[in-house]
Amino acid sequence: MNIFDCPQRDRLFRSMKMGWYNVCPIDETTGMLLTEQASPYALYHCQQVSPQTIREIKQASEAVGSVLMQAWSVIRNLDEEALLYYGFPQESIRLVKYDALAPFCMRLDWCWNEQTGVKKVVETNPQTPSFWFECTVGNHRVAEHFGLRSPDVNAHDTLQFTLNQHIKRAAVFLDKPLEECEVVFTTLNNAEDLGTMQWLSGYVHRSTIMPLEYLRIQDGKCLFDQRTGKPVDILFMWYPVEWAIHDTDENGEILWPALEKLILQIKVVIVNFGSAFALQPKSVFALISDLGLNFFCGKDAETIFEYFPKTSLNANDIGDSYFAKPILGREGEGGFAVNSGKIVAKSSSNNLWYTEQTYVYQELLEFPKVEIVGEPMTTVWGAWLYNNGYDKFVAGGLGMRVSEGEITDNIAYWCPVGC
């Protein structure tokens, strides 16, 4: 059975309405998908893992979430000079400091190597819908298909409860009855992002999904849907802050000041935006290392010692073996590994926007390998955390990405898991 391309694979993932089980490049001139160049993303395979491994990763993730919530409080109180030092764009600083609605969710990426005993969280991704559907319902469906048990039967319910809790908090923050609020989910018009937002919007009663291209600002008074003219009150927007600050309108005018003003004047609440971005830069782990164990309470200090890799903005602090990544890196872009002073692995994606950024350096870790169709593949675990409504992160779904190379990037596969 070809796990990359076979009729059974097509039927399974189409039945799940997962339109991105293959990845297609986009023609930069026409914007059309180049379907003839499609490459596989979802594997027709289910890797069996122990329930104990699932429990341990979820427990460790919740412990890490406690540290990150504390870090969020610290970041909001840093002065401008410190935020610039840790790589926050100048244009983002006011929003990072004054967006008081706590982050809703994030995905942690783990080096969880049970053979060597190395179990470290390598980064947090609070501003992404990537790998969300897969970890929440995708594993469940594939495990069922292959006769295995779901790795997390509660992932669906946890997401539904916490998401609605946060939407309610957003309405309170807006000082408007929820039933009078226009709730909108938006992202770029591509198969994975829009498909994920369509799936996510199904968890919220009376919400709308729309491509980001139709979102407009009206006279500095409100956000609105260009198609209907309806104002937007609560927005769940998958669109990173570091992109939004550079956007322009058709006349070349920067859009960010108007959007920032709406947010700060609480004329719209964008869920998981400014507060989430506060934890998005990879330099947040360097900040945690710089604060030191004595800064944190006993339990959080133990979590940092056990699960956080040493991270710094200065490679010399780590030594001659480290992994380097851009501060605002995504999907492995621009990352490279150095062992004993020599580059031993490099990302397949090296867009200048990423490689020209300041880098953060992290102790070099040995990621586990899993054998799939006779080939050893590098494994990264992703684990979701959600704000339970009281600013405590609880664990949600989790899943496995695998890659033929040493670095997990945008061409890595989703390997479904079951128990």
- Tens digits of per-residue pLDDT, 72-130? 999 999 999 999 999 999 999 999 999 989 999 999 999 999 999 999 999 999 998 89
CB atoms inside a 10 Å sphere around CB 6: 12
In this prediction, residue 36 carries a pLDDT of 64
Bridge partner residues of 68 (DSSP)? none
Instruction: Report which of 315, 171, 277 is spatially closest to residue 233, judged by C-alpha positions.
Output: 171
- Tens digits of per-residue pLDDT, 148-206? 999 999 999 999 999 999 999 999 999 999 999 999 999 988 889 999 999 999 999 88
For helices 283-291 and 51-76, angle between their N-to-C axes, nearest 10 degrees: 80
Q: Is the Cβ–Cβ distance between 93 and 77 less than 8 Å? A: no
In this prediction, residue 110 carries a pLDDT of 98
> Per-residue DSSP letters for 42-67?
B-S--EE--HHHHHHHHHHHHHHHHH
- Residue by residue, what is the 3-state secondary structure of 86-115? CCCCHHHHHHHHHCCCCCCEEEEEEEEECC
Once rounded to an integer, what is the mean pLDDT over residues 238-265?
A: 91
In this prediction, residue 30 carries a pLDDT of 53
Q: Is the Cβ–Cβ distance between 270 and 244 less than 8 Å? A: no
Describe the chain by its helix, strand, coil percentages, rounded to 5.
Answer: 35, 25, 40
How does DSSP classify residue 242? H
In this prediction, residue 350 carries a pLDDT of 87
In this prediction, residue 221 carries a pLDDT of 87
For residue 251, CA distances in Å to 247, 254, 358 come to 11, 9, 31
For residue 175, CA distances in Å to 166, 223, 234, 397 come to 14, 17, 12, 32
Q: Is the Cβ–Cβ distance between 91 and 280 less than 8 Å? A: no
22 has pLDDT over 90: yes
Kindly compute the dihedral angle of the four CA atoms of residues 107, 139, 270, 209, in this order, to the nearest 10 degrees: 160
Once rounded to an integer, what is the mean pLDDT over residues 345-370?
A: 94
Residue 76 CB contacts under 8 Å (≥ 6 apart), including other chains = 96, 97, 278
In this prediction, residue 267 carries a pLDDT of 95
Confidence at 349, pLDDT banded by 50, 70, 90: confident
Bridge partner residues of 209 (DSSP)? 185
Which two structure tokens, joined as six digits, stand for 246?
């550079």
Confidence at 273, pLDDT banded by 50, 70, 90: very high
Instruction: Report which of 301, 340, 343, 302 is spatially closest to residue 324, judged by C-alpha positions.
Output: 343
For residue 257, CA distances in Å to 77, 151, 353 come to 22, 44, 22
Report the mean per-residue pLDDT for the chain.
94
Confidence at 29, pLDDT banded by 50, 70, 90: low
Residue 385 CB contacts under 8 Å (≥ 6 apart), including other chains = 61, 62, 64, 65, 105, 106, 107, 108, 393, 394, 395, 396
In this prediction, residue 383 carries a pLDDT of 98
Residues 88, 16: Cα–Cα separation, whole Å: 38
24 has pLDDT over 80: no
In this prediction, residue 189 carries a pLDDT of 84
pTM of the model: 0.95
32 has pLDDT over 80: no
The tally of CA atoms less than 13 A away on the side-chain side of residue 71 is: 31
Q: Is the Cβ–Cβ distance between 197 and 187 less than 8 Å? A: yes
In this prediction, residue 174 carries a pLDDT of 95
In this prediction, residue 147 carries a pLDDT of 98
| Pair type for strands 47-48 and 417-418 | parallel
* Type of residue found at 401: R
| Pair type for strands 207-211 and 417-418 | unpaired
Q: Is the Cβ–Cβ distance between 42 and 5 less than 8 Å? A: no
342 has pLDDT over 80: yes
In this prediction, residue 31 carries a pLDDT of 54
